[in-house]
């Protein structure tokens, strides 16, 4: 029996991958680093600690990882305050999911970004727990962020259903032992192997009904 719903944020509730991509690309190029499809895809699902180190070590950004993280997050916050890219039906989907059980959020975004998105969207009081992957040992596709979300909820992972859009996120939730509903990201679609691992795939948040979440 499903007792809780754990949402990803980027690509599920907000169309933010493009914002992340644009912000990091501009910053990396300003600092003389390399930014291409390989770099972009490698960072998907990484925690802030991981991607800032990756940009320093692999993409040639000369700044220290802490400074890289701080600057990118500052630019992301400014972008969200200027206009939050909520996906159509995001607020309604969260409200519907509350009929299934307690809600949590397990995101690769920084704590500051999670709090800002939920506050600006007006849905911060819907979630009993929120977890940033910077608060656990490993980012997605490791299961750490989903396991921590279940722990904070006080619900066994097997009694949770996760809502994900990416290859790293789907693998993370499945590795945690959760049921997974995939809403494939159209711009950055999950690979076929990851998508096949999801328990069900739907086209949009409009199809995320309590009946589907409950399995």
pLDDT tens per residue, range 44-100: 878 889 999 999 999 999 999 999 999 999 999 999 989 999 999 999 999 999 999
Buried b / exposed e over 22-58, threshold 16 CB at 10 Å, is ebbeebbeebebebeeebeeebbbbbbbbbbbbbbee
Question: Residue 77 in 3-state DSSP?
Answer: helix
Domain with residues 4-15+85-214, CATH architecture: 3-Layer(aba) Sandwich (3.40)
CATH entry 1.10.150 includes domain 17-82? yes
Is residue 187 scored above 90 in pLDDT?
no
pLDDT at 214: 93
Q: Compute the distance between CA of residue 107 and CA of residue 129 in angstroms, rounded to an integer.
A: 11
* Segment 98-118, tens digit of pLDDT: 999 999 999 999 999 999 999
Share of the chain above pLDDT 70, in %: 100
* Segment 134-155, tens digit of pLDDT: 999 999 999 999 999 999 999 9
Please count the other Cβ atoms lying within 10 Å of the Cβ belonging to residue 82: 7
Domain-by-domain residue ranges, the chain?
Answer: 4-15+85-214, 17-82
Q: Compute the distance between CA of residue 109 and CA of residue 192 in angstroms, rounded to an integer.
A: 24
Instruction: Write out the catalytic residue numbers.
Output: 8, 10
């Amino acid at each position: 029996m499903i007792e809780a719903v754990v949402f990803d944020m980027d690509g599920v509730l907000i169309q933010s991958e493009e914002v992340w991509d644009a912000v990091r690309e501009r910053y990396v190029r300003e600092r003389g680093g390399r930014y291409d499809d390989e770099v972009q895809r490698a960072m998907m699902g990484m925690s802030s600690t991981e991607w800032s180190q990756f940009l320093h070590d692999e993409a040639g950004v000369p700044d220290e990882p802490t400074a890289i993280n701080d600057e990118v997050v500052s630019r992301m916050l400014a972008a969200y305050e200027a206009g939050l890219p909520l996906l159509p039906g995001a607020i309604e989907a969260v409200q519907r999911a509350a009929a299934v059980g307690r809600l949590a959020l397990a995101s690769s975004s920084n704590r500051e970004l999670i709090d800002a998105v939920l506050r600006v969207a007006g849905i911060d009081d819907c979630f009993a727990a929120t977890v940033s992957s910077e608060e656990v040992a490993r980012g997605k596709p490791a299961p750490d962020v989903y396991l921590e979300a279940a722990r904070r909820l006080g619900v066994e992972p097997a009694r949770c259903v996760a809502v994900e859009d990416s290859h790293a996120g789907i693998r993370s939730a499945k590795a945690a032992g959760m049921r997974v509903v995939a809403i494939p990201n159209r711009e950055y679609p999950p690979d076929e192997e990851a998508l096949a691992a999801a328990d069900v795939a739907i086209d949009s948040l409009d199809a995320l009904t309590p009946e589907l979440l409950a399995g």
